Amino acid sequence: MEKETVYKVKIEKEQQGTRIDLVLSLALPDTSRSFLQKLIGSGAVEIDGKVCDSKKYKVEEGQEVVVTLPQPQELSVEAEDIPLDIVYEDGDLLVVNKPKGMVVHPAAGNYTGTLVNAVLYHCKGSLSSINGVIRPGIVHRIDKDTSGLLMIAKNDAAHASLAEQLAEHSIARAYNAIVYNNFLQDEGTVDAPIGRDPKNRLRQAVTELNSKRAVTHFRVLERFGKFTHIEARLETGRTHQIRVHMAYIKHPLLGDGVYGPEKNPFGAQGQMLHARLLGFVHPTTGKYMEFESSLPEEFEKILEKLRGNV
């Protein structure tokens, strides 16, 4: 019989009036919201000892939520023959160019079509085990709707080396983005802590509450009046860091309906953000390696429209 895992969540003051499915999606970030809604409907969620079977139930401060979650079906994560854009590969690692719209790793209720499924097929199981079966080889992530470069570790030693470089902020990561509004300066730095948004627990925000230091360096590449093409370099790597920092300084990303306008004049499908450059010290050779990725077609087409060439 499949083992079950029980999670307990105490409702905080700022969560008062929030739907139960949203509360659980924050408490269990690697579990899809649709899967949690199915659990609620099946009677697997209790609030103060009573079964809650409505995903729309709004919680109250002080309540204790208990969710019985089936053990993640890690062994069901299968290799899939999904094409990969491989920029570099050797016996220790590979660098891939992730397309926009692809999720990096599986989560409960979402086990197929991810980068991990594709990498499992390509590497024939030769991946680091540090992050478990669900995230084999995954050293860092980028959002589903962010395209660009990611490094994958093929063994534990390579993974540990790359992870240490990330922790020391020595890995070079540069992104291209199209943001709203013009800048007064040509370059600058946003040094502002990021944590869960106290007013909206589904988002990240610049906040002093339960946050971590976050630093983003940016420079202007092209100006278009109401929009600007920039490069953003990460010193730290917090969740949604560039998206949050740019919105914080009144330059939300084009297409980012979470931190910026829901509608955009170019019909961009998700935020215009591309992980263009990735540089690190090779775990075995000790040599610095740097890779670049061309801007995706959608990104280039919008730039051409902004330049007035279309």
CATH number of this structure's domain 174-275+299-306: 3.30.2350.10
Structure tokens at 40: 């609620």
How many whole angstroms separate alpha carbon 276 and alpha carbon 291?
8
- What's the pLDDT at 200? 80
Q: Residues 143, 145, 156, 197: which is the catalytic one?
A: 143
Domain with CATH 3.30.2350.10 in the chain: 75-168, 174-275+299-306
Answer whether residue 36 shows pLDDT above 90.
no
Radius of gyration from C-alpha coordinates of the chain: 21
Lowest mean pLDDT among 108-112, 231-235, 244-248, 264-268: 108-112
- What's the pLDDT at 15? 86
Give the torsion sign (CA, 296, 301, 306, 308).
positive
How many whole angstroms separate alpha carbon 24 and alpha carbon 54?
13
More confident residue, 210 or 272: 272
- What average pLDDT does the chain have? 89
Residues 6+ apart with CB under 8 A from 191: 213, 214, 215
143 is annotated as an active-site residue? yes
- What's the pLDDT at 297? 96
CATH number of this structure's domain 4-71: 3.10.290.10
- What's the pLDDT at 257? 92
CATH number of this structure's domain 75-168: 3.30.2350.10
What does the pLDDT average to over 72-93?
83
